[in-house]
Structures are given as C-alpha cells and as structure tokens.
Structure 1
Amino acid sequence: MTKETQHTILIYMEVERKIDFYYKLQKITTYHELTVTPTAVITAKAEYTLNSVLDVSYKPFSSQTGILYLHTNQGVFPFYINSSPQKFIDTFRSFKIG
C-alpha cells in the first residue's frame, strides 16, 4: 500500500444528554469515525490538515475506555474511545515525520 492510499480509522463516541418530555434524562450515544490520512485528520464534524495538527496523545481509564486528545493550532479536542489508539497514533506520527 502506498503512502497516498494509507489511512487509519478509529471509532469514537459522543454522548448527548437530553431532558425528555417527562423530565427524564436521556443519554444518546453516537459513534463516529476518526480518520488519519497523509494530508489530514478527519472527524465527523471537522477536518484538520496535517500541518495544523501538532500532536496526538492518549489518556487510558481502567474500564477499557480512554480519551484521545488531538492537539491542533485551534485548540485541544478530546475523543472518547473504547479501543487501543496505538495504530492510529503510529500512523499519524509516521505521516508527520515522513
């Protein structure tokens, strides 16, 4: 696979909290893809060029979940994940170095 066709996808989740008609708290979880390509990091709501992404870090929790932090020149964006992000981080760093 050439570098132009390489990409890595990581699934992240967003939890939205709403109060329903009966005043009960509803938690709605949606799953989205976080993709790193040789030119950009793409989320469900935004796309960041690789030049604007400074670093990626990960903070694991004890329950097999964790937060992947995307450090950009626009701020730090958290992504809640349920799987190991090591392949995603390695791919990102290989694109930044290469």
Structure 2
Amino acid sequence: MKIIADIPYIKVVRMIEHNTQYHKEEVHYITLSKEKVITFDDSFLLHEVLDISYRFFSKEMGFLYLHTTKGMYSFTVRTNPQSFIDHYKRIK
C-alpha cells in the first residue's frame, strides 16, 4: 500500500487513577492510499468515503469530517487539512 497523504489528528483519552481523572492527548494519523482511508480505530475503502470536509473553530484547532457510507466521523486537527482533501479529490 502506497501512502498518498496523511494528516495528524488528536484523540483525547480519559483515565482514572487513584480516584483522579486525567486527560491524555494522543496523536494518530489519517492515512490516504489509492484503495482506502485508514484511521487508528477504523478503515474505509475509498468507495465508502463520500466526502471529506473541515471547519476550524479557532486559529489552532478544527474538525475534519469524514463522510462515509457507515456514517460521519469527526477528527480534531491542528493543521490545515486542505492538502489532504485535495489529494483525496484527485484520486476519487
């Protein structure tokens, strides 16, 4: 599988230790190939991906939306995903 593009996203993990709740940010990647889009938790064949969009809610963060036949998935991103979306649209 040849990687065409990828983009980092943030996943917040909540843990409880010694009766105290902690939040930990994990960085994962959404990877685009000619066959599929792969995330940490899931993968989608390219024909299952209907669209990719994004919306920034501050200068530093935004949401990348992956519209699929399985539903819509949102990912918190800190980088502008326009290049990733452009690569997707070229191969779609």
Give the TM-score taking structure 2 as reference length: 0.92
CA distance in 2, matches of 1:43, 1:57: 16
1:15 maps to 12
Report the structure number with the largest CA radius of gyration: 1
For 1:63 and 1:25, the matched residues in 2 are separated by: 28
Q: Distance in 2 between matches of 1:43 and 1:76?
A: 13
The one of 36, 56, 72 aligned to 2:52 = 56
Q: What does residue 84 of structure 1 align with? A: 80
2:38 matches 1:42: yes
CA distance in 2, matches of 1:6, 1:19: 36
1:45 is displaced (CA, Å) by 1.6
Structure 1 ranges of 4+ moved more than 4 A:
none
| Cα-Cα RMSD | 1.5
AA aligned to 1:78 is S
Cα-to-partner distance string for 1:47-95 (whole Å, 9 max, x where unaligned): 1000000000101012311010000000000111100001100001111
Identity of aligned residues (%): 34
Distance, in Å, in 1 between the alignment partners of 2:24 and 2:3 is: 32
Q: Which runs of 5+ in 2 are unaligned?
A: none
Instruction: Give 1:17 shift.
Output: 1.6
> In proportion to residue count, which structure has more strand?
2
Give per-residue Cα distances to partners, 1:1-58, cap 9 Å, x unaligned: xxx846001001100122221x222001111111111111011121100000000010
In the alignment, the residues of structure 2 paired with residue 90 and residue 38 of structure 1 have an alpha-carbon distance, to the nearest angstrom, of 13
